[in-house]
Each structure stands twice: as structure tokens, then as C-alpha cells.
Amino acid sequence: MNPFDQAWDLLKAPVVEPIPGVRVGYAAGGGLDQSAIVPEQVIFQGKNIGPEDEEIGQIPYASSADSRMAMMTPNEYFDAIAPYTRAPLDGGRSDEYRWTPRGQSSHDNIARIIEGIKEGKVIGAPTLSFGKKPRSEVGYMDRLANEDAWGYTGMQEGGHRMEALRQMNHGDTPIPVLQQRNFHVPATERRPPPRPRIVEDDELLRRMRMKRFNRRFIPKAID
């Protein structure tokens, strides 16, 4: 795509309002599949997101013709990424918070996003990145007809925005999510489940620590 075409695609960036008062923006270009978006939801089609439309988070641009828009609830979003995050999420669907990776800083950021949404600011559509599954035998030419060939790469953008919507009681309300797809990028493996703690292991660890302590601090008897 030449620079002129890319600039024109950015001028066509739509804003979707899946929840009354909640505006979600994304840049539709490169043949982006938007069939999952209800046409009546698009309220800003054909116009640039201007200075009067303040943004929360990055307005994502579909960089691949393989990419598509999907409708996902915040809880579905967190369910999808939970098996791949480096550390387990804060909680499940029934917990108060699911996404606070930076502790109090995340709580403060979520509060600012909620205020921005209430002020009518546009939030960038959350983004999940997908690539070719490591052991898939599907070739590049057959990728579009084989959904099972795609897997999550572990990259996401928008967790705080999704958590803000949960805090606004929209945890089970679907909003547009960009599935950024690149078949040349490998998908990631699921995070191994945490190893269960075994009482015998704890006892062995205690004995090893005691042995090290005795060697360092208890003098040997002199014959």
C-alpha cells in the first residue's frame, strides 16, 4: 500500500458506539473484514477522528488484509488472553478486578479511563495479535480458509480499557476488538499451569535450608 492509500484509509477511520455513550474507534484499511460490526453501530464512518474527538489509548490501524474486527465482551477478552499471560490474571469473571498488572498505577489509570468515557472521549479498539500456530501445516495460500491455523501471539493492547468497562458494569457487553493478523508471525504457546505445591517438597526445602544454615553458622566440633 502506498502512502497516499494509507493516508486515505486513515481518513475513513470509523467510530463505533456498541454501548450508548461508549465510543470505540479504529482505522479500517487494507481490506479489513468488518462484517462482525453491526452497520447501525458505525456513527463516524467517512470522517477523520479530529481534535474534537479526544482519544483514550491508541486508535489501532489494521496493518494486514488478513485482520478483522470481532465483537468481544471484556470478560471474553480476558478469558482469551488468560492462558498466555506471563503471570495469572488477578481474578475470574466474578472477581472485582481482572486486569491490574501495575498495581495502584493500573487502578489510577482505569479510573482516568472511566472519567474519559463519561466525558465522551473515543477509546481505541482493544487489539489482539494473531499469527501462525507453531505446528500448523497450513500453507500461506490456504490461511484464510483455515481458522484453526491461527493462534494468539501473546500481544495485546487495551487491557486497562476493557477493565474500565468491567468496572462500569459492561463486563458482558460486546465491543469491537481488532484481531491483528500476520501469518509470518508465530503464535505463542500456552503458559504452563502452576505446579501444585506438595507437602513433601516443602519438607525437603526446609531440610535443605537447615543444612545450609548449619554449615555456615554452627562450628564443627574439634577432636
204, part of any domain: no
**Residue 10 pLDDT class (50, 70, 90 cuts):** very low
Q: What phi and psi, each to the nearest 5 degrees, are found at residue 13?
A: -60, 120
Q: Do β-strands 175-186 and 127-132 pair in parallel, antiparallel, or remain unpaired?
A: parallel
Flag whether 105 is in a domain. Answer: yes
Q: How many domains does the chain have?
A: 1
pLDDT at 192 (0 to 100): 76
- Classify residue 27: in a domain, yes or no: yes
Residue carrying C-alpha cell 482493544: 126
Q: Does residue 201 sit within a domain?
A: no
Residue 206 lies in a domain: no
- Structural domain that includes position 172: 3-194
88 CB-near residues (< 8 Å, 6+ apart):
82, 194
Tens digits of per-residue pLDDT, 148-169?
Answer: 888 899 999 999 999 999 999 9
Residues 173-219: tens digit of each pLDDT: 999 999 999 888 888 888 776 666 555 567 777 788 888 777 776 66
Phi, psi of 40 (to 5 degrees): -65, -15
Instruction: Output the average pLDDT for the chain.
Output: 81
What's the pLDDT score for residue 46? Answer: 45
Kindly state whether residue 210 falls inside one of the protein's structural domains: no
Report pLDDT for 85: 85
In a domain, 49, yes or no: yes
97 within some domain: yes
Give how far Cα 177 sits from Cα of 92, 194, 220, Å: 20, 29, 67
